[in-house]
Amino acid sequence: MTKTQRKAASSAADAFDRHYAAIWGEARWQNSLRPALEQPTRYACLLNRYAPLDATKEKISSPNTEEVPLKLPQPSGSDAALNLPLNLVVRQTKSAEDGSPAPSSEPFPAPVSAPGQLCSHWNLDAASALVAQLLDVKHGDNVLDLCAAPGGKSISLAQNIWVQHHADDSEARAKVSEQRPLQIGTLHSNEVDAPRQRRLADNLRSYLPKALFDAQRISTLRIDGTYPKAHYELVVKTPNGTVGYDKVLIDAPCSSERHIIHAHANARLGGGEAPEMVNWRPGSSKRLAETQVKLLMTGLRAAKVEATIMYATCSIEPTENDGVIEKMLSQVEKERKKGMLKWTVRVGFGAGHGDVALETELEKSWAERTKYGWIVLPDHPGGGRWGPLFFAVLTKTSTA
């Protein structure tokens, strides 16, 4: 690398820091948030309910740590009656100072599938599992994951759709299996990029029962969600016609600043510069936001009235988060006034009315509020070190 190139790289890194310090405050950015983002990503372990849970717990155990179930917050009125077993696990170790449990940085083993068996677990940031939980997928729901690769969130969402197919006997499985007619449910996982879509399909088949693919209850799609009429291709087809989705997740492509920070640090260790940082520009978020708004509008159009829609990114850039929600609300209102839409959007839990108990728990242990949603950041006082992940909960409501 020439002196000129090195100077340009250093200038980009300085501009990056100035930009995010202006957003989050100089003191927080330098002393808390940036150092937390520099740390290795902490992973939780999602246990696959379609494989035997006890065998999985044995497989992931370590003599150096304690594996502890992580109970995620859930919306009031959620389908708690099913009482499904907890299937998210974190690692804790003993703190040398006071003996109290502390988050462990020891990774979980990589999932490996055995012939004829489904994969037992998926390692992910617990903030991703939180978003899937807060979408409140119920047994028998029709669910769309619009930007699904590599598949972790789809696998999380699938855990509640087909309780009758869970590997372990449980009160929940017995209760659901007795229902007549048996609720079926659908999961459509979409990815426009061909290689990523193939990887997504392989991952889903490694984790979810073959019978559900054979019955076309699970499909991996390859549709460009930014196309204005993409929702026509996404809808659920039934013998009685097409229907919209009960739940939609849009985990949109974004700036992924934590990845940029990690790439920059790793390149510097080797005496080089990361292209992710060198090519970073403050204006990149505006272009991304245009794509994100299109994806969100497609997700809303594909949802049925009264459906819940979750918009999420792993960005810390407000333009890609609250900014996208604001632009979507403006577009929906314009189209509604022109008579193009017979629905509108409410923002927030409880179809826009709020959920005090849930929001109190989120603020205490997980996330901080933004104008329209929430953001999980690794310097949150709760100490989980999860994120970053922004999310906003939306409800599509009729105006007819």
Neighbours of 276 (CB within 10 A): 18
317 Cβ neighbours under 8 A, 6+ residues apart: 23, 254, 255, 257, 285
Q: Is 149 annotated as a binding-site member?
A: yes
Element (H, E) at 28: helix 26-28
Both tokens of 301, joined, read: 């159009």
Q: Is 147 annotated as a binding-site member?
A: yes
Element (H, E) at 60: helix 53-60
Q: Would you list the DSSP string of 142-211?
A: EEEETT-TT-HHHHHHHTTT-GGG-SS--HHHHHHHT-SSPP--EEEEE-SSHHHHHHHHHHHHHHS-HH
Q: What φ, ψ does residue 395 adopt, rounded to 5°?
A: -125, 130
Q: Is 116 annotated as a binding-site member?
A: no
Q: Is 202 annotated as a binding-site member?
A: no
Q: What is the DSSP letter of 319?
A: G
Q: Is 153 annotated as a binding-site member?
A: yes
Q: Is 352 annotated as a binding-site member?
A: no
SS3 category, 400: coil
Reply yes or no on whether 314 is catalytic. Answer: yes
Q: Is 152 annotated as a binding-site member?
A: yes
Give the integer Cα–Cα distance in Å for 20 and 165: 46
Q: Is 26 annotated as a binding-site member?
A: no
Q: Which of 45, 119, 254, 314 is catalytic?
A: 314
Q: Is 383 annotated as a binding-site member?
A: no
Give the integer Cα–Cα distance in Å for 304 and 283: 35
- Binding-site annotation, residues: 147-153, 191, 224, 251
- Binding-site annotation, residues for S-adenosyl-L-methionine: 147-153, 191, 224, 251
Q: Which residues are catalytic?
A: 314
